[in-house]
Amino acid sequence: MKKICFLLICSAFGINAYGQKTIDQKVSELLSKMTLEEKVGQLVQYSGFEYATGPQNSNSATVLEEIKSGKVGSMLNVAGVEETRSFQKLALQSRLKIPLLFGQDVIHGYRTTFPVNLGQAASWDLGLIEKSERIAATEASAYGIHWTFAPMVDIARDPRWGRVMEGSGEDTYLGTQIGLARIKGFQGKGLGNIDAIMACAKHFAAYGAAVGGRDYNSVDMSLRQLNETYLPPFKAAAEAGVATFMNSFNDINGVPATANTYILRDLLKGKWNYKGFVVSDWGSIGEMTYHGYTKDKTEAAQKAILAGSDMDMESRVYMAELPKLVKEGKVDPKFIDEAARRILTKKFEMGLFDDPYRFSDDKRQKDQTNNQENRKFGREFGSKSMVLLKNQKNILPISKSTKTVALIGPFGKETVANHGFWAVGFKDDSQRIVSQFDGIRNQLDQNSALLYAKGCNVDDQDRSMFAEAVETAKKADVVIMTLGEGHAMSGEAKSRSNIHFSGVQEDLLKEIAKTGKPIVLMINAGRPLVFDWAADNIPTIMYTWWLGTEAGNSIADVLFGKVNPGGKLPMTFPRTEGQIPVYYNHYNTGRPAKTNTERNYVSAYIDLDNDPKFPFGYGLSYTQFKYSDMILSSADLKGNQTLNIKVNISNTGNYDGEEVVQLYIRDLFGKVVRPVKELKGFQKIFLKKGETKIVSFNLTPENLKFYDDALNYDWEGGEFDIMVGTNSQDVQTKRISWIK
Ligand code: BGC
């Protein structure tokens, strides 16, 4: 008790138990010495000059001068021991010697790249995801980076939006769990540790709901929907102590997120009591003028700071406008102090005032280049992110002694493409990337032949290579076709209206199919693609996303059965673009179709089945899993009780394997309509051939809560369907009553 009182008294006086100053007190002292310009300087972030992740406007000479005079708080796209040291050196020439923060988009790995994030989400493996970010943080921090602009926790239901590759898909629950795992991975044992980097929950908010899936487009939705579907991953990130947030480019119901007082002041910094800082997205403060929200850059700076955007990434309006606005009495200096305090606090927490160069260490950097342990992990993660969509004739796995295998398609010998979008740590070729050809060749028996034909380019109309590809296929016992979309066709500013295989790839596939040879189709993409013809005509299909540095090895491990695939789709796959947005947790409507093909006076298209091509949560294995009847602890619950759900899962096939057991609920009626299904839990289990395991879930009233139209978050008594299954469509259901 005495000890607690002592600690409380100490913290009230801004000192810790050892008589040292707390970070809060150090920040106050520093702020008291700073001029207005120096404080605003902390709110400024510029990009480095060699590499840009947005429309660049850096004038290198003036930026270097500004750093020296304390007018810059942070740089992005500056990395590597040498470069970070030289920039930090400049910052330490400023009057108060405040170190710079170096930020970078470490999105799916750094030197070792891992599957694109949507592919990672397909693993449904929180342990692997956390570990991948731990490795990314270890590598990035060794390259002098303090801060990653990740995780992107935007929920997205529209595969036309190119940035779905960077998120965790369409589901709020899954997206929240994955976001938390990523933050844990990046921030490790806590800021201040040498291998911990600051994470950033982005893009706040609702960026994934851009109208028509067109990047940067507007978002118009009810606050109820915003709170229920799009904000939970952010709220969870704030509660988990994510160091920073990033604004989104879009407006929400007419107010740009960058100056949106409701989400920034009322929710994030108000109700959620968030203590980290908010960085704008690239240029998003200045862009409010283009939105038509502010008449000029002056008003943009004013509205952004008042709403709670703390750092200006590359708009260059904070330094130009804020000192003037304060002097004219248009911005209360307390807003500048607040923003500077939040940023300086993080610099102290990162230990940068103790040693501004502590992240820039040659030996660490060398150890984290081409690190074999990290690559080994990348190989495993790649194989566990793949999703087996079809294996009708059990063509997979392929025997290593197959006499002649043909690899056909434009991605077979690609290296850099395997990174997918966002591979900023790849500045030279010292990090070897394993092509699909090499991966397969390395595992195929010495006496077997691996033939190769490109067949066509990724995205043009050239059919001149078809004939050679057909001849190659004819010589093979098995044809592996590697098709999809270009690696830079998903990602930022990469929205597509047509999400089929690009160019003439589908025509190539049809030509090869005519040979009658067994075909394994591997689909490389950063988003769900539309491939109706292939899905109906090719018996074996594997979704490989972009798997990163070790792609070829991961793919070969799965093709030859060293790894049994267990991935499940984190997004619904549409039949055709006209079906978008299509997602599993939709409302029932007043005229639901009872069958997939019902058309008349029901909510359906007259020319399309209602079901998607592949549902959310779907994915096969080389083995089979049998679910027993589920057992509920009760069918009549009251108040704060807990419902237990148990089901036995048996591996009845011929391979050991992993299964993701999924729990959904449906609240049958409510104050506001509820989705036909909501994911409430999942467990990934490993079962040896012939093994059975009991999987058990608990539900409490907390899991039944939702937002009503007045934004009250609560649950209602009533009837609920409890569903357990192998994907969002294939479930068993039991009804319960739960009285409040
Ligand atoms: C993207 C962000 C990214 C930033 C810095 C922006 O264009 O939207 O996600 O972190 O650039 O590269």
- DSSP-derived pairing of the beta strands 731-739 and 718-725: antiparallel
Q: How far is the CA of 133 from the centre of ligand 1 (A)?
A: 18
Average pLDDT over residues 461-476: 98
Q: How far is the CA of 149 from the centre of ligand 1 (A)?
A: 7
Residue type, 323: P
Q: How far is the CA of 490 from the centre of ligand 1 (A)?
A: 14
Average pLDDT over residues 448-475: 98
Task: Using DSSP, state whether 738 is helix, strand or coil.
Answer: strand
Average pLDDT over residues 11-40: 84
Q: What residue's CA is closest to ligand 1, atom 2?
A: 281
**Residue 394 Rama label (left phi>0; alpha psi -120 to 50; beta):** left
pTM: 0.97
Confidence of residue 60 (pLDDT cuts 50, 70, 90): confident
Q: For domain 23-72+249-350, give the CATH superfamily.
A: Glycoside hydrolase, family 3, N-terminal domain (3.20.20.300)
The CA angle 43-47-49, to the nearest 5 degrees, is 150
Q: How far is the CA of 346 from the centre of ligand 1 (A)?
A: 20
Q: What residue's CA is closest to ligand 1, atom 10?
A: 149
pLDDT over threshold 90, residue 346: yes
What residues flank ligand 1, with Cβ below 6 Å?
Answer: 53-54, 76, 105, 149, 202, 281-282, 492
Decide: residue 461, CB within 10 A, 0-12 exposed, 13-18 middle, 19+ buried: exposed
> Which ligand 1 atom is the nearest neighbour of the CA of 200?
10
pLDDT over threshold 80, residue 6: no
Residue type, 44: V
Average pLDDT over residues 485-496: 97
Helix ranges (DSSP H) in 23-113: 23-33, 36-42, 60-68, 81-91
Confidence of residue 15 (pLDDT cuts 50, 70, 90): low
Measured CA to CA, the distance from residue 311 to residue 147 in angstroms comes to 14
Task: Specify the DSSP element, H or E, that contains 232.
Answer: helix 232-239
Task: Using DSSP, state whether 257 is helix, strand or coil.
Answer: helix
Q: How far is the CA of 492 from the centre of ligand 1 (A)?
A: 8
Helix ranges (DSSP H) in 407-475: 436-443, 466-474
Residues 543-590 have pLDDT tens digits of 999 999 999 999 999 999 999 999 999 999 999 999 999 999 999 999
Rg (CA), the chain: 27
Pocket test of ligand 1: the residue of 53, 108, 204 to mutate, having most ligand atoms within 8 Å of its CB, is 53
> Which ligand 1 atom is the nearest neighbour of the CA of 152?
9
**Predicted local confidence at residue 61, as pLDDT:** 76
Q: How far is the CA of 488 from the centre of ligand 1 (A)?
A: 15
Positions of CATH 3.20.20.300 in the chain? 23-72+249-350
pLDDT over threshold 60, residue 3: no
User: What percent of the chain lies above the pLDDT cut of 90?
Assistant: 94
Average pLDDT over residues 70-88: 96
**Predicted local confidence at residue 428, as pLDDT:** 64
**Residue 422 Rama label (left phi>0; alpha psi -120 to 50; beta):** left
Residues 410-447 have pLDDT tens digits of 999 999 999 999 988 776 666 789 999 999 999 999 99
Confidence of residue 55 (pLDDT cuts 50, 70, 90): confident
- DSSP-derived pairing of the beta strands 692-699 and 643-651: antiparallel
When the pLDDT of each residue in the chain is averaged and rounded to a whole number, the result is 95
**Predicted local confidence at residue 484, as pLDDT:** 98
Judge contact between 349 and 23, C-beta under 8 A: yes
> Which ligand 1 atom is the nearest neighbour of the CA of 53?
12
**Predicted local confidence at residue 53, as pLDDT:** 75
pLDDT over threshold 70, residue 392: yes
Q: How far is the CA of 574 from the centre of ligand 1 (A)?
A: 28
Judge contact between 158 and 172, C-beta under 8 A: no
> Which ligand 1 atom is the nearest neighbour of the CA of 77?
12
**Domain 625-739, CATH among 1.10.630.10, 1.10.10.10, 2.60.40.10, 3.40.50.150:** 2.60.40.10
Residues 297-306 have pLDDT tens digits of 999 999 999 9
Q: Give the other-Cβ count within 10 Å of 537's Cβ.
A: 13
Catalytic entry in 281, 310, 557, 667: 281
Positions of CATH 3.40.50.1700 in the chain? 378-577
Residues 641-665 have pLDDT tens digits of 999 999 999 999 999 999 999 999 9
pLDDT over threshold 90, residue 50: no
**Domain 378-577, CATH among 3.30.1330.10, 3.40.50.1700, 3.30.160.620, 3.30.300.30:** 3.40.50.1700
Average pLDDT over residues 704-726: 97
Q: How far is the CA of 150 from the centre of ligand 1 (A)?
A: 10
Find where tokens 């409302």 sit.
587
Q: What residue's CA is closest to ligand 1, atom 8?
A: 281
Residues 671-712 have pLDDT tens digits of 999 999 999 999 999 999 999 999 999 999 999 999 999 999
> Which ligand 1 atom is the nearest neighbour of the CA of 248?
8
Task: Using DSSP, state whether 382 is helix, strand or coil.
Answer: helix
For the question of residue 171 being annotated catalytic, the response is no
User: Which of 235, 324, 320, 315 has the alpha carbon at shortest distance from 281?
Assistant: 315
Residues 170-203 have pLDDT tens digits of 999 999 999 999 999 999 999 999 999 999 999 9
Q: What residue's CA is closest to ligand 1, atom 4?
A: 282
pLDDT over threshold 60, residue 4: no
Confidence of residue 1 (pLDDT cuts 50, 70, 90): very low
Q: Which residue has the higher pLDDT, 25 or 428?
A: 25
Positions of CATH 2.60.40.10 in the chain? 625-739
Judge contact between 285 and 296, C-beta under 8 A: no
Q: What residue's CA is closest to ligand 1, atom 12?
A: 53
